Amino acid sequence: MEKSHFFIRSICFIFLSSLGGFVFSFTNLSIGWMIGTLLLAALISFYKPKLINHHNHQKGLPSFWMYLGQSFLAIELGQKINISFIEVFRANWISIISMLLLSILFSLLSGFILWRFTDFDMITCFFGATPGGLSAMPSIAEEVGANTMVVTVIQTMRVFLVVLMIPLFASIWLTGSTNDLTVNHAIVSTTHSPFEITQLLWTVLLIVGVCGGYYVGKYLRFPAPWLVGGMLGVGCAQTMGSVLFDTDLKAWWPPSMMVLSQIFIATSIGSRFYKEMIVGMTKTLVVSFFTTIGLILSLFFCAYFISLITGISLVTSVLAFTPGGIAEMTTTSAVLNADSTFVVVVQVLRIVVVLVILPPVFRLLKRWEAHKIERSRTSA
C-alpha cells in the first residue's frame, strides 16, 4: 500500500514538473522540455509542498525514472550511429579527431579555471565545463557525487549561449543571409516516413540492444550504463543492421519519446535539489559565463583553421565543432545548406567520446583530489 502511494506521488510530481517543460517547449528549443521541467521540479523540491513530500530526503525520485529517461535517450542517440555515419568519419577522420581532441582540451581548461576561481570541488567544475549534453552530463555527474545543480546551471548556460550566438552568426556573417530558423526547424523536424510494421520490429531489437549495452556497460563499469552502454549497444545494432540489409534501417521512434526522456531525467535531477546546493552560485555564474565564451571562441577559431586546411566550408566546420546541441546545430546546417551529415557525425562523436572517456578520467581526478586533501590533513 505504501509503495503504491509512493508511486502515485511520483507520477504527480512528474506531471506537475512537466508543465514547466510544456511552457518552455514554445521556445522551439529541442531541450525546452528539459529546461522547463528541471526548473519547476527544482522549485517544488525547494519548497516541498505536502502534495510532493515523498522526497523529503535528498535521494529524490526512485532511480527507475532516471534509468528510463536514460534508456530513451540512448535509443535516440544510438540510432545516429549507422553506416552513413561510419563512411563520413572514414573520409574525414583526421580533421574530426583533431577537433575532438582540441574541444576536450579546451573544455578541461575551462573546468580547471572554474575550479581555481570558484568554491566548488574539482569534479563538479569539470562536469559543468565538459560539453557532453545537457540531458546526459547532470545524470552522470550525480552518480559520481558532483553537485548536479551547479553542473546543470553551467551546462544550460553553455547551451543557451551557443544556440543564441552560433546560428545567428552563421546565418548573417558566414552566409550573408538571415534565414528564418524557426520556420525551417518545423519543416526539418516534422518530416517522417510513413509507419511500417518492420519499423516496430526494429524498435524491439533496439530495445534489446539497450538492455544488452547496459549489462556490458555495467560489467565494464561505464558511468551511467543505461545511457552510455545502451547508446553503444543501439549503435552497434544499427550499424550491423545497415551492413546486413545495405540500408539505414528506420525504427518507430516518435519525437514524443525524446520529450519523455527529457521529462524523466529532468524530474529525477530536480527532485534532488535542495537550497544548500546553490550557495555561492553568483561567482560561479560569472566565471562560467566568461569560460563558456572563451570555449566557444577558441573552438570557432579552430574550426576556421580546419576549414582552411581541409577545404570544408566554414559554415559546416563551425556548426560541426561548436559545443551545442545536435538538433540545433543540425537544423541550422540544413537551413544554411551546409553538410548536415558531417555536422551530425561530429556532434554525435563529441558526445560519445565525452561520455565514454572523460567520466573515468574525472573519477581519477576526484580520487587524486581526495588523496591530496587527506595527505594535507595528515601532515597538519
- H/E element holding 4? helix 2-24
Rounded average pLDDT over 310-316: 82
Q: Please report the pLDDT score of residue 294 as a whole number.
A: 87
**CA dist 4 to 8, 25, 51, 144, Å?**
6, 31, 15, 30
Rounded average pLDDT over 149-174: 74
Position 48 confidence tier, pLDDT thresholds 50, 70, 90: low
Cβ atoms of 75 and 250 within 8 Å: the answer is no
pLDDT at 11 over 70: yes
- Grouping H, G, I as helix, E, B as strand and the rest as coil, residue 179 is coil
pLDDT at 137 over 80: no
Would you state the cell numbers that stand for residue 361, as one nine-digit string? 578520467
Over the stretch 79-135, which tens digit does the pLDDT of each residue have? 877 777 777 778 878 878 887 888 888 888 888 888 888 878 888 888 888 877 666
Between 326 and 203, the more confident residue is: 203
Position 256 confidence tier, pLDDT thresholds 50, 70, 90: confident
Position 57 confidence tier, pLDDT thresholds 50, 70, 90: very low
Rounded average pLDDT over 272-278: 65
Q: Please report the pLDDT score of residue 38 as a whole number.
A: 82
Over the stretch 348-379, which tens digit does the pLDDT of each residue have? 788 777 777 777 777 777 777 777 777 777 76
Question: pLDDT over 90 for what percent of the chain?
Answer: 6
Q: Please report the pLDDT score of residue 208 as a whole number.
A: 93
Give the residue among 329, 199, 214, 201 at the shortest CA–CA distance from 254: 199
Q: Phi, psi (5° rounding) for residue 211?
A: -65, -45
Give the residue among 116, 76, 372 at the shortest CA–CA distance from 203: 76
Over the stretch 191-238, which tens digit does the pLDDT of each residue have? 455 667 888 888 999 999 999 999 998 888 776 788 878 888 998 898
Between 164 and 130, the more confident residue is: 130
Rounded average pLDDT over 183-196: 46
Q: Please report the pLDDT score of residue 29 as a whole number.
A: 67
pLDDT at 181 over 50: no
Q: Please report the pLDDT score of residue 58 as a whole number.
A: 47
Position 52 confidence tier, pLDDT thresholds 50, 70, 90: low
